[in-house]
A and B are shown apart, each in its own frame.
Chain A
Amino acid sequence: MSRARADEEEYWHSSKFRAFTFDDEDDELSQLKESKRAVNSLRDIVDDDDDDDLERVSWSGEPVGSISWSIKETASSSTSSLEGRDSGLQKGSSSYAAFPKQVSSYSLSSLFKGRNKLPSFQSLSDALSDTGVKNYAPELRRPKAEYKDYSSDWSPKDTVRRMQRGKVCSLERFRSLQDKLVLLDEAVAGHDGNVITAVLIFLKRTLRREILFRELEVRQVALCHLIHFLKEAGEQKLLLDLLRFLDRTEEVALSQYREHLNIQDVEKRREFLKGCIGLPFSAEDTSHIQDHYTLLERQIIIEANDRHLETAGQSEIFRKYPRKASILNMPLVTTLFYSCFYHYTEAEGTFSSPTNLKKTFKIPDKQYVLTALAARAKLRAWDDVDALFTTKTWLGYTKKKAPIGFHRVVEILQRNSAPVQVLQEYVRLVEDVETRLNLATKYKCHDVVIETYKDLKDRIQLTAYKCKVERGSAEEEKINSILNNMQIRWKN
């Protein structure tokens, strides 16, 4: 969730507060904090006595621990918010005076009213400020009989409604399966995911899982919510049981496979992936998982070997081009690049040789050539580049062939600052005349330009090109001799 974090960061920058580091040192401020702490702790002592006898009840109806100081804290503000709400409701106009900080002349009532209308459902103060004490009554400690009377007040619909508004509601009284399902259906009909999830948590706690699963199978919206909740809460086992129950075998497999992302140790990761191969993936995905495992296995071997080579300092290539990062967990193409870079000439038998990788993972020619080209060009090994595209015809002639367009070859070579002599050889092979001319002009492959114009019988362009080449150079001479060639039938 690094994106979300980055977005959050914006708030810190744009707000009046600034995010800062923990080693922030500011003498004056720390003094201020010191005194503030002292004052705060004083208040704690004072507050503690008053609130000891208060107990709170959670939305599921279970009493929770004492929250003495917090009740005091919110209660202190509840008077002001109560006033704010009252006058806001009665007059429908500004009532901001109740708040300690009046900043602008704008009416703030609507917003604060909004806040009061949807109070945090567990905050005592807000509940009090709602419609008086009566609504809140069930949540306070009461004699048992009375408690029961009160809590059965709300119909499923009202319960959902109240929960949507963030109010406290006990779900414990929905005990029969039918009641529970009516409650769930109401929650779904209310379109509020928060409430749907809350009801599901309650059902999950109070129903045997097979029964819950069975009911969810015909309630797709609720089902999505439970799956999402289980994913977020990390309840992997229950999630897998649910998916198995639903016969969603592929999701079972993917969900298990997903766990490898959280395993840091490569050996453990490899072992885990090995276990994933047998999962019920589609045939196509099974081979991807198999490849994932094989790749990591290879990388571990290569990494161990190369680290040794590098530290020993015997191998020239590692001395000349020290590795920037480990090859572990890199994609296949990156691994291929690596092996073309460091292990190009190795025999097919070794795990680190490019040909071995190509065979094992059935890398298409196109992909292989692109990667090998990029790696060898980076090393400026032009002979290797040459060999990559040279094929022998059955008559014994050599011929240049590439599974990718030669304009791509040129581009990659150029990016690795190949000399003109190398470059022009490939520019010449670009089939499309216009692209060839463009590339040749751009990269100053004069010979190719001159020959192309000659082939096009374009005297005007050829003459014009003369000013692009150096005076007295071989190229100029060449242009002159072509222009003087009487045998050419110029088209212009």
Chain B
Amino acid sequence: MAFAGRRDVPEPPDFGILKRLARDQLIYLLEQQHEVDKLYKVDSRPALSTSDQFCFLVRPRIKTMRYIADIVNADKMSGRSRKYKIIFSPQKFYACEMVLEEEGVFGDVTCDEWSFYLLPLDEDIISMELPEFFRDYFLEGDHRWINSVARALQLLNSLYGPFGKAYGIGRCAKMSYELWRDLEEESESDGQGRKPEIGNIFLMDRDMDYVTALCSQVVYEGLVDDTFRIKCGSVDFGPDVTSSDKSIKVLLNAQDKVFSQIRNEHFSSVFGFLSQKSRNLQAQYDRRRGMDIKQMKNFVSQELKGLKQEHRLLSLHIGACESIMKKKTKQDFQEMIKAEHSLLEGVDVRESTSFIEEHIDRQVSPIESLRLMCLLSITENGLIPKDYRSLKTQYLQSYGPEHLLTFHNLKRVGLLTEQAAGETLTAVESKVSKLVTDRAAGKITDAFNSLARKSNFRAISKKLGLIPRVDGEYDLKMPRDMAYVFSGAYIPLSCKIIEQVLERRGWLGLEEVVRLLNGNEFSVSDSTVEDNPTWESQRVILAVFLGGCTFSEIAALRFLGKERGCKFIFLTTAITNSARMMEAMIEAKA
């Protein structure tokens, strides 16, 4: 297929152990300790069970605590006595206990923690399954999950040995790193002196690069995620894909022999591959003609099962492709991609703006409209006030006035801003600064900056050469750089930064880019780890995305790894895409 890559790419560490650990730990908690025999799903409806023992496995959220407290109090009122156990995952928060105390059920309920931090989704992807990280940190400015990230790093460190070199950029990256080092210093880690399996770690905040996450995905795995939503490494293919009346749940990972060959491909080359594959399959089936009995017996016992499996997978992915095509043609996908590319390149901005306007007016999709507006804003360093007002008004008219709240949220995180907005921010800043010492003022400026940073996308893009020069057609089947994940139009910024830093073994020479990204970069070598270049681990890099990572970025770095003879492993707070990011910004009922 498209990238042959280098042969000497190192093997990734075995994540099977993580999965087993998590599973055993949960089973231990549920069965051995609490003798749970059935699981219910925490739901908005009242639990009607006759069981005399309730065990709740929950996220540490205040709302959930209230729900549980209501159950306990209702039982108390009706004179019913039960045991209640809350298992918090991944950890218990003080605020939750405060609620239990306030509701008068503290003491009636016992608490435990399931310190579940890492879910291996594939042989190179670990997810923390914390989709709420994005909103909690970037919108609300809440640091509650930083501890979880630090603990996840600690766990990886203890299982796979120390990381020799740590790089990072972003405020959250820096804090997570510091907290993790703190934890390490405190515990006499048994990982020291071990042969490291992961040589490098790179931490990055999602707000370093919103652009990439906002683009329409065109590599197969990303497209499947955008269209059908991959959840926890599996996807529900509906009747339109399975061409039957039922849905099928499919696990999407390296084990799927068909999927593993097309996941990183640009969508345009997937068709060709699938039809070639079908022809091969047909040929293999056809071989049974003219077989004698013995050969036939062999065929049935040895090959048929594999062929059938492959056949099933092939027809599923072909069905998925068809369904994607159908949906995308309906949505003017071509036109949309064209508009996106113009925005990335910074040409024909007027045309793109009216494309977005029409998209809104036709009520095509509230999420897509929002995404395109954000992309326009970030690439242009904010909308000009006239456009901002008119697009906002039309959006509210098309999709509902309550989205006023959404716009406010987007402004706060800096995803959708008005060009003049920077001035009001500075006004508040200077007003506050007068009140306090210089040191504190610096902190405040930092805090403001983190909330609504100027994107400076155009300048960064120029500096790093993110828009490849087109000389002739970009051959998507034989990609020459990471831009292939966006049809050759754009090299994902996040991946480019990682590439550059690894190449330079630090930030030297990237000062201007760092300044445009608002700093907070770091690069630390662990002195206890020998810098032994012969170790394979030197070529294994753990890429940590704080706030989510897209399949396009994963594909791009996989490509880079194959080109450079290194291996990327991904640790992300959650798999994300543009729709998930937009949805996280929408206000919903309490």
Contact = CB atoms under 8 A, between A and B. Distances in A.
B187 A331 contact: no
B420 to A, nearest CB: 12
Contacts of A12: 39, 41
Given A14-B234, A58-B101, A288 B444 contact: no
B358 interface: yes
Contact of A56 (B37, B107, B358): B107
Interface stretch (B136-144, B204-212, B274-282, B338-346): B136-144
Contacts of B106: 58, 64-65
A114 B155 contact: yes
A334 B397 CA distance: 9
A366 B397 CA distance: 13
Contacts of B448: 220
B253 interface: no
Interface in B543-590: 580, 583, 587-590
Contact of A64 (B32, B51, B107): B107
B232 interface: yes
A103 B111 CA distance: 26
Interface size on B, as a range, is 35 or more
A232 B40 contact: no
A182 interface: no
B179 A192 contact: yes
Interface stretch (A69-77, A145-153, A340-348, A392-400): A69-77
Contact of B92 (A8, A14, A37, A166): A166
B408 interface: yes
A81 B587 CA distance: 43
B231 A10 contact: yes
B508 to A, nearest CB: 27
A173 interface: no
B404 A195 contact: no
B590 A10 contact: no
A4 B59 contact: yes
A101 B17 contact: no
A250 B405 CA distance: 11
B440 interface: yes
A100 B32 contact: yes
A216 B99 CA distance: 23
A191 B143 contact: yes
Interface stretch (A289-297, A377-385, A417-425): A289-297
Most-contacted residue by chain B among A24, A114, A225 (CB, 10 A): A114
A104 B20 contact: yes
Given A9-B41, A111-B25, A228 B394 contact: no
A298 interface: no
Contacts of B176: 191
Contacts of A11: 232
A371 to B, nearest CB: 8
Contacts of A41: 52
Interface stretch (A237-245, A253-261, A300-308): A253-261
A333 interface: yes
B419 interface: no
Interface in A189-217: 190-198, 201, 217
Interface string B124-159: 000001011000100011111111000100110011
Nearest to A200: B95
B432 interface: yes
A370 to B, nearest CB: 5
Nearest to B53: A40
A118 B401 contact: no
Interface string A16-46: 1111101010000100110011001100000
Given A111-B25, A218-B440, A288-B401, A70 B110 contact: yes
B302 to A, nearest CB: 31
A229 interface: yes
Interface size on A, as a range, is 35 or more
Contacts of A390: none
A193 B40 contact: no
B365 interface: no
Nearest to A254: B408
B37 A288 contact: no
A325 interface: no
Interface stretch (A119-127, A455-463, A470-478): A119-127
Interface string B376-409: 0000000000000100111011111110110010
Given A10-B231, A33-B37, A262 B358 contact: no
B144 A367 contact: no
Interface in B344-386: 357-358, 361-363
A65 B103 CA distance: 13
Contacts of B249: 13
Most-contacted residue by chain B among A10, A56, A123, A295 (CB, 10 A): A10
A340 B52 CA distance: 58
A13 B448 CA distance: 42
B49 interface: yes
A92 B440 CA distance: 44
B151 A114 contact: yes
30 contacts: A37-B51, A59-B94, A64-B107, A69-B83, A73-B33, A74-B33, A74-B110, A74-B112, A106-B17, A106-B20, A110-B190, A114-B155, A122-B111, A191-B143, A192-B144, A192-B146, A194-B95, A195-B94, A218-B432, A218-B440, A225-B143, A228-B140, A262-B590, A284-B392, A331-B363, A331-B400, A333-B363, A363-B397, A366-B357, A367-B361
Given A33-B37, A106-B21, 15 more contacts: A20-B40, A59-B94, A70-B83, A92-B190, A106-B20, A114-B154, A120-B111, A166-B113, A193-B136, A284-B392, A292-B402, A292-B404, A295-B401, A332-B397, A370-B362
Interface of B: 17, 20-21, 23-28, 30-35, 37-41, 47-49, 51-53, 59, 61-63, 83, 85, 88, 91-95, 97-99, 101, 106-108, 110-113, 115, 129, 131-132, 136, 140-147, 151, 154-155, 158-159, 175-176, 178-179, 182, 187, 190, 231-232, 234, 249, 357-358, 361-363, 389, 392-394, 396-402, 404-405, 408, 432, 435-436, 440, 443-444, 447-448, 580, 583, 587-590
The 8 closest A-B pairs by CB, nearest first: A224-B141, A193-B144, A65-B107, A193-B143, A198-B94, A70-B110, A220-B447, A292-B401
